[in-house]
């Protein structure tokens, strides 16, 4: 299996005999199921105490999509395998469940019913991995709740991803997600990635205006800036050699000026001019180079009301 080493934390295979509880967990990151099957491909696995007639068929397999549905995006997941497979792939054969999964780095947010979920990435932008408004265990958001409100652990909202992907602030209520299990006390569970921001750049010649822009929901973070000249070829067309010769020209206030005008904004304009930056090298034709990223402006904490 070839995977990006920066994303892969660990790869696991769990085999569970039919009728037992399968347990998936990640010490770091969240579960991402790669495959899940029920059947038999070996006569030795889960064979203790079984007659040969129940273990001889080794060409028996069916996919079990319920495993990924219930476990993806969680740090821990327990599944009662009894009746978990969508159908019996080989009657009379004693079967087992084989789940392959990886643990991927992701942030998680759990918000009880009627709470607000706030997502934030210190750097980069948010990409939602999984989202569910419902209940998949008996312990989360269970304090003070009667037993009958936490028994249904197979409760999934069919439309959870849609409202979560549109905003970094989400109200955990059935008016937003619809009610997937009336009478059950629900919670909103989200796992998401913080994607590193791509570094953008802007270069304009002296007397021109640099325009920086970011997409909706993100703001400008200045990485570096210089008004001056560091090579003899940039912005050199039609200029005499005397105006291009000095290549160690730096306006010391470049980053401060650009940050004051652009930091935290969705868009901004900066004129490449001596009147803005002062003249760091008289007689040299200068240019303004800026590198910046567009980063999420959302907040990240969870509150309940």
What angle (nearest 5°) sits at the alpha carbon of residue 189, between those of residues 187 and 191?
A: 170
pLDDT of residue 305: 32
Q: Is the dihedral of CA 81, 86, 89, 90 positive or negative?
A: positive
Q: Which residues contact 74 (CB under 8 A, 6 or more apart)?
A: 24, 30, 31, 136, 189, 191
pLDDT of residue 212: 96
Residue 266 within a domain: yes
Q: Give the count of domains, the chain.
A: 3
- Asked whether residue 56 carries a pLDDT value surpassing 80, the answer given is yes
Q: What is the CATH number of the domain that holds 238?
A: 2.60.120.740
CB-based contact 38:95 (threshold 8 Å): yes
209/245 same-domain check: yes
Beta-ladder partners of 107: 192
CB-based contact 292:199 (threshold 8 Å): yes
100/128 same-domain check: no
pLDDT tens-place string over residues 263-298? 999 999 999 999 999 999 999 999 999 999 888 765
173/214 same-domain check: no
Percent of the chain with pLDDT over 90: 52
163/186 same-domain check: yes
pLDDT tens-place string over residues 111-168? 898 888 888 776 666 778 788 899 988 989 999 999 999 999 888 887 787 777 766 6
Distance CA 109, CA 116 (A): 10
210/276 same-domain check: yes
212/290 same-domain check: yes
CB-based contact 240:249 (threshold 8 Å): no
Q: What is the mean pLDDT of residues 189-213?
A: 88
DSSP run (H or E) holding 30: strand 30-40
The neighbour count for residue 31, using CB atoms within 10 Å, is 26
- For residue 214, what are the CA distances in angstroms to 125, 194, 297? 12, 17, 11
183/141 same-domain check: yes
Beta-ladder partners of 289: 203, 226
Q: What is the mean pLDDT of residues 54-68?
A: 93
pLDDT of residue 223: 87
Query: Of 53, 80, 104, at which residue does a domain stop?
Result: 104
41/68 same-domain check: yes
- The separation between the first and the last C-alpha atoms of the chain, rounded to the nearest angstrom, is 45
Residue 303 within a domain: no
Residue 301 within a domain: no
CB-based contact 151:138 (threshold 8 Å): yes
Residue 25 within a domain: yes
Residue 95 within a domain: yes
Q: What is the mean pLDDT of residues 245-271?
A: 94
pLDDT of residue 265: 94
pLDDT of residue 123: 63
Percent of the chain with pLDDT over 70: 91
Residue 119 within a domain: yes
pLDDT of residue 304: 34
- Asked whether residue 190 carries a pLDDT value surpassing 50, the answer given is yes
Query: Of 104, 132, 148, at which residue does a domain stop?
Result: 104
pLDDT of residue 69: 83
Residue 132 within a domain: yes
Which range (7-21, 59-73, 129-143) has the least confidence?
A: 7-21
Residue 4 within a domain: no
Structural domain of 67: 10-104
pLDDT of residue 295: 82
78/165 same-domain check: no
Q: What is the mean pLDDT of residues 90-111?
A: 89
287/227 same-domain check: yes
44/120 same-domain check: no
Query: Of 74, 104, 134, at which residue does a domain stop?
Result: 104
- Asked whether residue 93 carries a pLDDT value surpassing 60, the answer given is yes
- Write out the E strands in 41-151: 60-63, 76-80, 96-104, 107-112, 115-118, 125-134
292/204 same-domain check: yes
């Amino acid at each position: 299996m070839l995977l990006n080493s920066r994303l892969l934390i660990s790869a696991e295979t769990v085999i569970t005999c039919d009728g037992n509880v399968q347990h998936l967990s990640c010490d770091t990151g969240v579960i991402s199921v790669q495959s899940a099957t029920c059947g038999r491909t070996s006569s030795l696995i889960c064979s203790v105490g079984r007659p040969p007639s129940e273990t001889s068929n080794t060409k028996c397999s069916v996919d079990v999509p319920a495993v990924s549905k219930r476990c993806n995006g969680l740090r821990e997941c327990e599944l009662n395998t009894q009746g978990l497979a969508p159908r019996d792939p080989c009657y009379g054969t004693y079967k087992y469940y084989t789940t392959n999964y990886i643990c991927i780095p992701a942030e998680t947010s759990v918000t009880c019913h009627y709470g607000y979920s706030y997502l934030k990435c210190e750097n980069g932008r948010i990409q939602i991995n999984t989202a569910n408004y419902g209940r998949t265990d008996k312990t989360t958001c269970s304090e003070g709740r009667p037993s009958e409100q936490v028994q249904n652990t197979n409760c999934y909202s069919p439309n959870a991803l849609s409202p979560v992907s549109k905003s970094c602030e989400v109200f955990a209520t059935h008016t937003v997600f619809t009610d997937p299990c009336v009478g059950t006390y629900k919670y909103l569970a989200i796992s998401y990635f913080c994607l590193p921001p791509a570094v953008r750049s802007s270069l304009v010649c002296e007397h021109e205006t640099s325009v920086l822009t970011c997409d909706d929901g993100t703001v400008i973070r200045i990485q570096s800036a210089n008004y001056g000249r560091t090579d003899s070829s940039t912005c050199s067309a039609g200029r005499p050699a005397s105006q291009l010769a000095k290549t160690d020209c730096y306006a010391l206030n470049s980053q401060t000026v650009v940050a004051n005008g652009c930091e935290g904004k969705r868009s901004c304009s900066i004129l490449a001019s001596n009147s803005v930056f002062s003249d760091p090298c008289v007689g040299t034709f200068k240019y303004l180079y800026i590198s910046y990223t567009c980063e999420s402006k959302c907040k990240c904490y969870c509150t309940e009301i």
